[in-house]
Amino acid sequence: MRQLLFRNLGLKILALCLAVVLWFLISGRGVSEITLEVPIEYVNIPPGYEIVKKDRDTVRVSLFGSEVVLRSIKPEDLRVYVDLKDAQPAEGSYRIKKRNIKVPPALTISNVTPPSVNVVIEKTVRKEVPVRPDITGEPAAGRHISEVTIKPDRVVVEGPESVLRRLTYVRTEPIDVTGLDSDSVMKVNVVSDVTAARLMTGKVDVHIKIKEGNER
């Protein structure tokens, strides 16, 4: 045991001296406190549910520690988690616990503002809705559109239950028929005016039939 203790004694003493010098260099600059605006990461959302509303996306984290370390710290060096593992399908208030804030070593969290956030989660559902064509412009002179057929004419959308309950249809992107003088088939995107409604089908085929004469 004595041999192990004194083996490489010179290197051990040098390492100890360097550690002491480094500590004095850091602590000798004094300590300070800064506050950073840090994005919130919402984790462990229950399967089959999603966030539909939250009262904030960032929190202010105050850190206490060496001035040397604090001068080099950036918001992206910190991570703030809100754990939704036990969340229920309603509005809830969730505390931001210090153990869910990851900070660089040698720094201490002195304050978090606000100490909690309000979050609403809802069940994620799917629904089939019709697709409506969005036609713009006019066909060539002396012709008119006699029929518009969409295939598929219904698509599946996914999103929060309360949002999809109010959604009755989606539409195609604008289809410009200006100067069109014969039947045409176009593959176009499907779009929704409701951001939270996610389309499971990206494109549809739009068949446009053109006939001579004025529309009656």
Rounded to an integer, the average pLDDT of 98-106 is 86
Q: Which of 123, 152, 171 is a domain's end point?
A: 123
The residue range of the domain holding 147 is: 133-212
- The backbone torsions φ and ψ at residue 88, rounded to the nearest 5 degrees and listed phi first, read -110, 155
36 and 91 together in one domain:
yes
Residue 189 has pLDDT above 90, yes or no: yes
Answer left, alpha or beta for residue 71, where phi above 0 means left and psi between -120 and 50 means alpha: alpha
How confident is the model at residue 28, as a pLDDT? 46
* Range name among 95-104, 117-126, 151-160, 177-186 with the lowest pLDDT average: 95-104
Q: Which of 103, 123, 143 is a domain's end point?
A: 123
Output the domain CATH number for residue 69.
2.170.120.30
DSSP 183: -
Rounded to an integer, the average pLDDT of 181-187 is 93
**Model confidence pLDDT, tens digit, residues 52-73:** 999 999 999 998 887 777 878 8
The verdict on residue 144 lying in a domain is yes
The verdict on residue 22 lying in a domain is no
The verdict on residue 16 lying in a domain is no
The verdict on residue 6 lying in a domain is no
Structural domain count, the chain: 2
Residue 3 has pLDDT above 60, yes or no: no
pLDDT tier, 152 (very low <50, low <70, confident <90, very high otherwise) = very high
In angstroms, rounded to a whole number, what is the distance separating the alpha carbons of residues 70 and 74? 9
Q: Which of 123, 142, 172 is a domain's end point?
A: 123
pLDDT tier, 49 (very low <50, low <70, confident <90, very high otherwise) = very high
How confident is the model at residue 6, as a pLDDT? 52
